[in-house]
Structure 1
Amino acid sequence: MVGESESRPSGATLALVPLLGLLWGFNWPAVRIALDEIAPWTLRAAGMLCAGAFLVVLALLTGRSLRVSRCQWPQLIVTGLLSIAAFNILLAFAQLVAPTSRIVIVTFTMPIWAALLAAVVLGEALDRRRLLGLGLGLAGLTALGWPLIVGGGLSLGLLYALIAGVGWGAGTVLLKRFPVSAPAMTVAAWQLLLGGLCGTVGMLIFEGVPRPAPLQSATLFAFGYHVILAQALAYFIWFGVLPRLPAGAASMGTLMVPAVGVLGSMIFLGERPGLGDWLGLALVLAAAATILLPPRAVAAPQARRG
């Protein structure tokens, strides 16, 4: 049932949709800047632990239970490893060896893999809309990857990003197949803490205990942005406010992320995407919109133009 607050969201609530897209979009260049002086395992461990802890506090303040049934911990752990831990850690290493703008584009194929895996695991029908989205997504990857293959610019970072996107899709579908009987904020909190634990273990094995060292102001700002704004504030908006909105409105914030990420890479990192990058971005965005937006949200603008 759709409540009145959801059917008639306030202007302030609607304004949080593009804000979320900006927060997560500009997180891409922020992470890349932070990686210049902060090791990848350390950066991801800190980010996920802080985000998970923030959600725990937020859940307690809003009266949500943090309890998860013992029999449901296996699916919570497996899906968290796929969609949170592996996703974040792989992308940190991807950004070290490939342009951030390209990593953004490849990663955002994740709704496409989720739709494809849902057809296999959940038996969801691949209707015309989803098939169109899959076709657009594959065309986008081809437009992005073919010039790199021909020119010898294909890097391991793009493979990391692709695996991260598939992992996110797999974790999302498995959680739908084996749901956890707990609030979404609780599930996300435990998954982020699990991801932070994985990052901490990797940090101790591969990087050792971090030693305090002076950091450049740009690195400090980027790290603060990543932890406070792109993690804590963005998750607060996602779980605290956007559930009151229709799915189509909330999805628009998600669709902003890759475009803002590419723009931020140009502004803050000095990257200059080529024609294949722009074409790939346009096709991947179209694919994600086709899959993510409800049919009514896609059809409504057409009806207004008629």
Structure 2
Amino acid sequence: MCGRVMAARFQYCRKYKQMSALRIALLTLLTMIAFAGNSVLCRIALKQTSIDAATFTSIRLVSGAVVLFSIATLLRTGRSGRGNWPSAFALFAYAAGFSFAYLSLSAATGALLLFGAVQATMIGHGIWSGERLRTQQLTGLVFALGGLVGLMLPGLSAPPLFGAVLMLAAGIAWGIYSLRGRESGDPTLVTSGNFMRSTVFALVLSLLLNSTANFDMVGAGFAIASGALASGLGYAIWYSVLPSLKATNAATIQLSVPVIAALGGIIFLGEVVTMRFALASVAILGGIALVILSKRQDER
């Protein structure tokens, strides 16, 4: 009798763990789709509607702040977290550069440049802080940087230079924001505070560019979806599953974002993936994966 009870409990625990693992996997996939969705939504809004990039940025950040504040208020974890102005400015710089870059870049190219710049900033900070890279990691870094350079080289399929530079700047800003985001406290509250502060910078930008501003209802809808769903809700879900993921696994999973964005661009925007983009993607994502996986081996 006792053996049967123990066996039943074992089966229940095993089934519960499997369900929990499935839930984490589904939520993680949903988050990656949301992050990639930012690129697709922004590109659709700026290409197919008449909304301007500054207005899109303001609406995105305001709607993201509202959703994150609402979620943080409802959850009430009891932990503290407020955010700060330097992080808020980095968040704004990312969002503004992101929007203006997508005036000329495809969803896939923009996502790849952004991700590459973010990871290069994070890795560069580690090197600056005294982290030593193994031969395997250096090889991966060379591949990734070579992919970025190859993507940017002049040619018929090269992305517009100004848009590419803006997206790289946005990626550096997001990398800085991520590095600064390691402060203690509830991550949803911290992000909510940073989003709320970033709206001040976004509204100032909109005022400065008021002469070229153009409000479009459909475009505003895409901006709200980007801020409220892809950003606000996306970050909230990500922070809920992050404790269940190892740091290395979390970094590796994010390699899927440019790929998902490329698929979204093909499906919703009719974008074509060029051979240059495909080769650059393999070099950049493969190189970053090599750095991340090598770092995991060091941590064992």
Q: Normalising by the residue count of structure 1, what TM-score does the alignment of the two structures yield? A: 0.79
What is the aligned partner in structure 2 of residue 27 from structure 1? 38
1:158 equivalenced with 2:164 (yes/no): yes
CA-atom RMSD, angstroms?
A: 3.2
Q: Tell me the CA shift for residue 253 of structure 1.
A: 3.8
Gaps of 5+ in 2: 1-13
Q: Tell me the CA shift for residue 227 of structure 1.
A: 2.9
Larger deviation: 287-296 or 196-205?
287-296
What is the aligned partner in structure 1 of residue 254 from structure 2? 254
CA distance in 2, matches of 1:209, 1:288: 39
Deviations 1:70-122 (A, max 9, x none): xxx7xx3223322x1111110111110233322221111111221112211x2
Q: Tell me the CA shift for residue 235 of structure 1.
A: 1.4
Q: Tell me the CA shift for residue 192 of structure 1.
A: 1.6
Runs of 4+ displaced beyond 6 Å: 4-8, 208-212
CA distance in 2, matches of 1:294, 1:9: 28
Distance 1:31 1:153, change over 3 A: closer
For residue 123 of structure 1, give the secondary structure of its aligned residue in structure 2: coil
What is the aligned partner in structure 1 of residue 71 from structure 2? 58
CA distance in 2, matches of 1:236, 1:152: 35
Q: Tell me the CA shift for residue 272 of structure 1.
A: 1.2
CA distance in 2, matches of 1:131, 1:8: 39
1:95 to 92, 102, 106: 102
What is the aligned partner in structure 1 of residue 131 from structure 2? 124
Deviations 1:189-239 (A, max 9, x none): 1222222221111112212697865x45xx466334313320232112111
CA distance in 1, matches of 2:150, 2:113: 11
For residue 103 of structure 2, give the secondary structure of its aligned residue in structure 1: helix
For residue 283 of structure 1, give the secondary structure of its aligned residue in structure 2: helix
What is the aligned partner in structure 1 of residue 11 from structure 2? none
Q: Tell me the CA shift for residue 245 of structure 1.
A: 2.6
CA distance in 2, matches of 1:152, 1:282: 16
Query: Residues 104 and 160 of structure 2 are in contact (CA less than 8 Å); yes or no, is this contact kept in structure 1?
Result: no
CA distance in 1, matches of 2:134, 2:141: 11
1:197 to 181, 200, 220: 200
Gaps of 5+ in 1: 299-306
1:137 equivalenced with 2:144 (yes/no): yes
Larger radius of gyration: 2
Deviations 1:257-278 (A, max 9, x none): 1001112112222221211111
For residue 239 of structure 2, give the secondary structure of its aligned residue in structure 1: helix
What is the aligned partner in structure 2 of residue 301 from structure 1? none
